[in-house]
Structure 1
Amino acid sequence: MEEGVLLQLENVDICRNENVILHQASLSLHQGEFVYVIGKVGSGKSSLLKSLYCEIPICGGEAFLLNYNLRKIKRKDVPYLRRKLGIVFQDFQLLTDRSVNKNLEFVLKATGWRSNKDIQNRIEEVLQQVGMQNKGYKMPHELSGGEQQRVVIARALLNTPDIILADEPTGNLDPETSGQIVQLLHEICKKGTAVIMTTHNYTLVHNFPARIVKCENACLNDVDK
């Protein structure tokens, strides 16, 4: 892969249960780049992201992500790839039985952090970054949807990922909060972390411009701005 290129898909087929969701799809992503993936529900946006973190297979073509060959990656290497990715889900997927701090601590310990001091420092850093520095003691149900999504973004940032994959991150949020979340992702991107965000909210795409790729008819195409 060329220097500065984080993702290179060339003529790939992305499959689910023997159904081809995307056919002959190509996509590149550079360091610090923000890309919207747009398209109707069921067009393959989420499947594209899931193929990048090895939840569903890539059946053909060439696929390299952060110098891993996604067509040939060994199962034991998948966790190491995922540590370089920050994944933001629409439905948050926070652990409801523990505080924000404990949610973040759980991820750090699960990914090999040992020093309690380092863990607490990193938690403070990411909560500060997403504007949630005073909410670490709260339980998820005590937070608004926008606050929960900020915590999810903080969780995605914990291991200083090269890429954030955000799957419909504003799907459950009101318009004002949605704008705040997308603005936050753009700010993170400006500091050097590439972002791929799926959405069918064209207002957000218009208000926060970036490169646009469209899923349509099992194809993936760049859209001229």
Structure 2
Amino acid sequence: MGSGAIASLLLFFLILIGVVVIFSFIPVGLWISALAAGVRVGIVTLIGMRLRRVPPARIVNPLIKADKAGLNITVNQLEAHYLAGGNVDRVVNALIAAERAAIPLPFERAAAIDLAGREVFQAVQMSVNPKVLETPLVSAVAKDGIECEVVDVRSLSPLDVDTIVSSVKKTGRLAIVEDDNENFGWGAEVAAKITNSEAFDFLDEPILRVAGNNIPIPYSPELEKAAVPQVEDVISAVKGVFSRRG
């Protein structure tokens, strides 16, 4: 084999290695997917993500989803949120849910909620469809002619106060059940918000709080049951409130 043939073969292998390196560094498949979806993301932008150690798929896939939903979100916004430690998918899902429910939710607000460690998508879901649960408590007190509903607000921050207000207006009473300590527990904050709301005038009885004892949670399962409220404790407390009605 002549020197010319060796040089050509060497050049071929160098080109082949270069192509493999380029295709491994640049997510061409992702670029094609974005292009097919009508989302313009430049090759240079994808290379920049690689250099900044941002997985392009973490940005491009949510961007495609947002574009299909009619949201006006930029690559820079999503990448900045990712670099700040945020969950891009969670924010985009929340924005899509808010858009479909006609709930105003700017990207900056959703990103701030996510960075604060709150479940922004769950908060939007709660605003759209508050969950009213059937529990053993409901059937237990129903036998005594007491009708009640259990509202699982699912999120304390932000708190869906409107759901609780609506329930208080309907029932005229409010029992807050929490497995936290009674002293400085979150139930006190809920009670304060209802006291300062329009629902206060609908209350026929003082707000009832059923909370854990003001002690550290014991290691033993049996002792733990004694430290936090059980179903029987809640039933007894609710029946006690209704036994005072005149």
Is the structural similarity TM-score above 0.5?
no
Which structure is higher in RCO with an 8 Å CA cutoff and minimum separation 6?
Answer: 1
Structure with greater strand percent? 1
TM-score normalised over the length of structure 2: 0.24
Larger Rg: 2
TM-score normalised over the length of structure 1: 0.25
